[in-house]
Structure 1
Amino acid sequence: MIVLGRVSAPFGIQGWVKVHAFGSDQHALASMPRWWLGCDPDSSDGWRAADLEDSREQGGALIVRLEGIDDRTAAVALKGMYIGAPREALAEPAEDEFYWGDLIGLAVVTEQGEPLGMVEGLIESSAHDVLVVRETQDGSPAGKERLLPFVGKVIRQVDVAGGMIRVDWGADW
C-alpha cells in the first residue's frame, strides 16, 4: 500500500473531512475515485476501500466526502486514518517524480560512493520532508539511524529503477 495522505479532521456536520496530502499535489489525490483507509501505514492489513463522493478546496485545504460518511460522528471516526492505494491503482509518476513508498528499501550512498544504509521511511515536517536512513549489515537494517533533509542540496539523485539514492552527506555525520 502506498500511503498518500491522512484524514486530519472532520469538517462541518454533513460527513466531510479535511485531508492532508503527503505530497505537493493534493488535486491528484482528489482525482482518485477510490481510496483505502487504514490505521497503520506500515501494515498491509486492515485497509478498507472507500469511494470518493465529492471534493473541494477550502482555504487551501482539501475537503472530501466519502461514501457512507454522512454525519459528523462518522467523520470524527476517520480522524487520523491514513489514506492509501495499492501501487497498481496509481498512475505512473513522471520521469523525475516518484511515490514515497517507492523510496523505501533503496540504498543510500554518498557522492563518493560510500554506503550510508537504506531508506527505512520518510518523515514529514513543516520545513521539509526527512529521509530516514538505517545502516545495513549484510543487506539487513542494523546500526545507526540518520535523518537526511529531503532537499535538493542533500538529495543529489534518486534512481528508483537502479535502487539507489545519491546524497551530498558525510559518512561520519
Structure 2
Amino acid sequence: MISENHIILSNAQINQKIKRIAYQIYESNSEEKEVVIAGIVGNGYAFSKKIAKVLTQISTLKVTLCEVVIDKKNPLLPVTTSLSVEHYMNKPLVLVDDVLNSGTTLIYGIKHFLAVPLKRFKTAVLVNRNHKKYPVKADFKGISLSTSIKEHVQVAFTGTEAIAYLM
C-alpha cells in the first residue's frame, strides 16, 4: 500500500500531464502528416500508448507507435525496435520514457536513433528527476522533481489507472 504522502501524481494528474504533452507534441508537429511515438520497453511504452491515444483524439496526425527494447541492466547490448528503420526514417519521432533518472536509458535510446535520418527528434518523460549523469534532456515533461539520490520515483500503470510515487 502506498502512503498518501508519497504520491507525486494521482491518476487524474497523470492524465492531465498526458493531455498537455500530447498537445505539445501536436504543436511541434502541426505541419506534419505523421509522427512516430517510440516508447522505451516497460513503463515508457505504456506511457507512449497513452500519449498516442490522446494525440489521435486531438489531431489529424497519423500516429505510429514503436516499442524500443533496451536492456536497462546492460544498455550496451544492441537496442531494437518493433518497427523496421524504414517505418520511422525521415519522420518526426518522439522517444518516450516514464522517469528520467540518470539519463542512461534515454541516452542509449537516443544513440540508436542517431544512426537513422529523422526529420525531427524529441524526448518526452512523465517525471524528470534532475539527477542526470548524461547530457540528455526531456523536451516534453509532465513534472520536474528534485529528489535526493537515495529516493526513487516509481510509476505504476495498471489498465486505465496510473500513479507516480516516491519510495
Query: If the length of structure 1 is used for normalisation, what is the TM-score?
Result: 0.28
Q: Larger % of helix: which?
A: 2
Q: Larger % of strand: which?
A: 1
Larger relative contact order (C-alpha < 8 A, sep ≥ 6)?
A: 2
